[in-house]
Amino acid sequence: MLYSAIQQNCKAVLNSHTGALYLGVDAWQSPNGFDILGVVIYRLEEPASGKSKLEAMPLDFVRLSQRHTGEDLAKTVCLVVEKFGIQHKICGIVSDNASNNAVMVRELKKQKWDRFKGEGQWKKQPTSNGDQDGCRESLTKFRGISKKLRYSPNSKAEFIKICGDKGCSTPHTVERDVYTRWDSTYIQLVSIIRCKDAILEWQRHKQHGVARRYYLDQSDINLAQDLAAALNLFYEITQQVSISGSPRLSNTVVFIDQITDHLSSAISSPTYPPSLRNACRLGLKITNKYCSLSDTSPLYRIAIILHPSFRDKYFKLANWEPEWVTEAIRLAREMWVLFYKPKPVEWTPSSSSTNNRPKSSMLAGL
């Protein structure tokens, strides 16, 4: 009631403001399970003393009745801004780097507010590992759901029932993420994506659901989809090298090049959230480390040169530096000369040998 009483006063103050206005937007879940969107307005206040200061004023708190998708957040923010009549004074929005917030900014750009450009800029916090924590927090939620389904038969039965009602693909389960099997993370992500509709309903079950700290929202689902896309190549390579008799030394360089291109594309892709792009940067750093270790042995490059399907054409297709290609050919030639080139056979005149065996043929008796 108090907030409703001062709304008109806030509206008058903001409408009389001649400078730029900035929004602060964040969504969170209250301890009692309600999803709340908070909207804060930032403006530069110039008092009579002449000393300017940045003022932050809570604008509105809205209970979200739908999922935390970027489209729904954009609609809610738009309603709040238009209620106060300040849409043409908004110059920017401050939020965290969740993927749904990026979608929200893109949707708000379609409103064509006079001062709002809708160009996302991400700033890394030097004192926080929020980007890495974003991935780690979601993965912890996934493991909590998997553990609940594994050790609670009643919860598993309720989950299977909801999966059937939602039309989820089988199997109706969330796979385990085993620390000693890194590809199990990808398998778990695929199962989360497969049963996402059932998880969003089952997790809130008072008796058979999970603790509130393991609740998933749309940002967790989006991260699972992006992370599964990033890990898919690693999973396929693992399956290929796990086949008995299939791995070849020449494939190692090809796999490293594929992983390098894959991670580089993910890092530069604007569709991935910053948390995942930072994780890919770390993965690329580790890949380059092991790629440099392969340079200590000439066998990898020689195997490419001697492969009947590759030869030196692969290096050209992979855009290797000319010096690297020349060095690979030199190493292959050197190994051939030192270890495999047949030694020249020295010619020696054949000495005539006399046969001292007695003649015992039929003609010898004539």
- What are phi and psi for residue 343, nearest 5 degrees? -75, 145
Outline where 272-321 has alpha helix (H): 274-294, 299-306, 313-317
Beta strands in 156-218 (DSSP E): none
Longest CA–CA separation in the chain, Å: 147
Compute the average pLDDT of residues 101-107. 79
pLDDT at 122: 45
Asked if the bond preceding 153 is cis, omega within 30° of 0, the reply is no
pLDDT at 130: 44
- Report the alpha-carbon distance of residue 220 to residue 314 in Å, rounded: 40
pLDDT at 360: 54
The pLDDT mean for the chain works out to 80
Q: Which of 338-361 are b and which e, b meaning 16 or more Cβ less than 10 Å from the residue's Cβ?
A: eeeeeeeeeeeeeeeeeeeeeeee
Structure tokens at 43: 């403006």
pLDDT at 359: 53
**pLDDT tens per residue, range 234-257:** 999 988 887 766 667 777 778 888
- Report the alpha-carbon distance of residue 100 to residue 72 in Å, rounded: 9
Query: Does residue 124 have a pLDDT over 50?
Result: no
Query: Does residue 358 have a pLDDT over 70?
Result: no
- Report the alpha-carbon distance of residue 284 to residue 277 in Å, rounded: 10
pLDDT band at 97 (very low <50, low <70, confident <90, very high): low
3-class SS of residue 128: coil
